[in-house]
């Protein structure tokens, strides 16, 4: 089998204002274990805000999403504007509030949200090319913005978030932390991760399945 190339979009560094670190690392680890070649990307923009992860309070400073994401990627990361769909077989977006604050405005605007232009352009390109996409935690909230009405996804069981996702035109399917939801027509795979997980092992149980399924889908034409 040929080595598959996967683009991963990060949204900063830290659950409250960026990419969820455990979700991101589990994703990168599983992709590596399965022999995939990975390139991380992030938008070169300012974070919505900076949160003190010890106290949960906002801090009076500014940070850059690409610079912060580089912490998780050990410096091996590129501006999302450099990402070309033709170079990759699949796309995965870890969660964390960064997905709802930096990659989109879902945290502040709910079902009226928009997706950051470069993120949307890349995700739409994967959708149009019928290449598999994996979303986890809160990142499936933007599925309807990528695929349009009728897309099936999960954020777990949170009623308020599921309601907003439904208002945006998606079909929300409740899901246990260890399971995945697949929209077969669109090759979209989602899993709740830390929307439900109480431990890193619980988060990994669903993320590993999601990564495995995304990679399986890339081999369908082989």
Distance in angstroms (rounded) separating the CA atoms of residues 28 and 34: 10
- Pairing state of beta strands 133-136 and 152-153? unpaired
Which candidate in 13, 40, 113, 137 is catalytic?
137
137 is catalytic: yes
Q: Which helix (H) or strand (E) is 32 found in, with range?
A: helix 21-33
Q: What proportions of the chain, in percent to the nearest 5, are helix, strand and coil? A: 40, 20, 40
How far separated are the first and last CA of the chain, in Å rounded?
A: 8
Maximum separation of any 2 CA atoms in the chain, in Å:
51
- Which residues are CB-contacts of 103 (< 8 A; sequence separation ≥ 6)? 9, 11, 43, 93, 115, 116, 119, 139, 142
Alpha-carbon 127 to chain mean position = 14
Give the residue numbers annotated as catalytic, written as ranges. Answer: 137
């Amino acid at each position: 089998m040929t080595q598959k190339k996967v683009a991963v979009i990060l949204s900063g560094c830290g659950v409250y204002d960026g990419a969820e670190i455990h979700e991101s690392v589990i994703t990168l680890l599983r992709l590596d274990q399965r022999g995939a070649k990975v390139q991380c990307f992030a938008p070169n923009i300012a974070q919505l805000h900076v949160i003190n992860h010890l106290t949960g309070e906002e801090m009076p400073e500014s940070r850059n999403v690409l610079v912060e994401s580089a912490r998780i990627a050990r410096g091996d990361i590129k501006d999302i504007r450099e990402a070309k769909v033709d170079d990759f077989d699949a796309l995965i977006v870890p969660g964390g509030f960064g997905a709802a604050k930096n990659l989109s405005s879902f945290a502040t605007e709910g079902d009226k949200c928009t997706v950051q232009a470069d993120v949307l352009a890349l995700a739409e390109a994967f959708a149009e090319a019928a290449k598999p996409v994996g979303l986890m935690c809160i990142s499936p909230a933007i599925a309807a913005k990528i695929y349009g009405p009728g897309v099936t996804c999960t954020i777990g069981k949170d009623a308020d978030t599921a309601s907003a996702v439904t208002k945006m035109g998606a079909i929300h399917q409740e899901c246990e932390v260890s399971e995945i939801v697949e929209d077969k027509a669109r090759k979209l795979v989602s899993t709740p991760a830390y929307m439900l997980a109480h431990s890193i092992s619980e988060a990994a149980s669903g993320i590993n399945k999601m990564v495995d399924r995304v990679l399986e889908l890339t081999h369908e034409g082989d």
